[in-house]
Amino acid sequence: MTDNVLTITLNPTVDKSCTVPRVQPDKKLRCSQPTYEPGGGGINVARGLVRLGFPVGALFPSGGRTGALLESLLHKENVDIIPIPVTGETRENFSVLDESSNRQYRFGMPGEPLVPVEAEAIAERIAALEPFPKWVIISGSLPPEMELTYLVKLIKMIKLRQAHIILDTSGEALKTAVAEGVFLIKPNLGELSSLVGIEALDNPSAERAAKQLITEGKAAAVAVSLGAQGAYLVTSEDSFYVHAPTVKKRSTVGAGDSMVAGMVAQLARGGAWPQVARMGVACGSAATMNPGTALFNKEDAEKLYHWLAQTQ
């Protein structure tokens, strides 16, 4: 396992994708051959980091036939995996592209709950890592029935080891986690609005809301994802807006995870905040150029990064 970066995915998945000529109700739809890819927030971040030439360890629970497939797929992508055996079947997600409209339909499955002994095994495995990673990314949804106190427990344990936590989740999990204080979060406008208790945000007020979270000690930096408009990266000292380059969009699956991968790669290499923001937007935009559940291509991301560096 790399001694620098670790991703934690508590509810991983195998993403299955295909295409159909047209989505229609009450008819048997003839699908293309399915594509299977590893999925889940932290899993995708790890895959993105490997594509950028950065070593990373990916820790996740793994169970059943789908768990075995997930491990096999990650081996093929040269991701250094730390699977924790569990009794429940690792979940699958499914997406289908309607070729007639170029619209994508995404179906997310909940996964199976972790029993207490399995959750404890995950925490113990993280605690036992030596040397302990400097950067820890906790990303994705939580398994059904998981108490939010478990996430708090992990964050406190990781912070005691002096690691920087990058958090990318949503809902109550995000609210609970930021109350403990982390290094970096990546909310969208809706999530940021919920965190600060403001009904609606626009670009200027988003910057102020991010500053509020930093002042309250909930994060050292906030990357506000604005989708097709790009992103704000806000720190205690400054803020950087990076507009998203215009690309031919084929799918938005994995764009947020790709953005996190780009930012972490620059952070772990000692990049300055403007570089962190640009690489995040470049990788996120590059991911939308690929179909189905595919992430970004390194060449596309680097090309967009250099273009952003020259134009901003």
257 is catalytic: yes
Distance CA 137, CA 43 (A): 10
Q: Which residue has the tokens 């809301």?
A: 209
User: Tens digit of pLDDT per residue, the chain (312 long)?
Assistant: 445 999 999 999 999 999 999 999 999 999 999 999 999 999 999 999 999 999 999 999 999 999 999 999 999 999 999 999 999 999 999 989 999 998 889 999 999 999 999 999 999 999 999 999 999 999 999 999 999 999 999 999 999 999 999 999 999 999 999 999 999 999 999 999 999 998 878 877 899 999 999 999 999 999 999 888 889 999 999 999 999 888 888 777 788 999 999 999 999 999 999 999 999 999 999 998 987 667 899 999 999 999 999 887
Assigned token pair, 204: 């200027």
Assigned token pair, 31: 């699908």
Distance CA 41, CA 166 (A): 12
pLDDT of amino acid 229: 87
Q: What confidence tens digit (pLDDT) does each residue in 274-301 have? A: 999 999 999 999 998 987 667 899 999 9
Q: What confidence tens digit (pLDDT) does each residue in 32-80 have? A: 999 999 999 999 999 999 999 999 999 999 999 999 999 999 999 999 9
In this structure, the number of other CB atoms found within 10 A of the CB of residue 174 comes to 20
Q: Name all domains of the chain by residue range, CATH numbers in brackets.
A: 5-12+42-86+115-311 (3.40.1190.20)
Collapse the DSSP code of 90 into the 3-class scheme (helix H, G, I; strand E, B; otherwise coil) and give the result. coil
Q: Which of 3, 15, 238, 257 is catalytic?
A: 257
Angle between helices 189-196 and 171-178 (to 10 degrees): 50
Which conformational region is residue 242 in: left (phi greater than 0), alpha (psi within -120 to 50 degrees), or beta?
beta
> In whole angstroms, how far apart are CA 222 and each of 150, 179, 228?
23, 14, 18
Distance CA 141, CA 116 (A): 18
Q: What is the pTM of this model?
A: 0.94
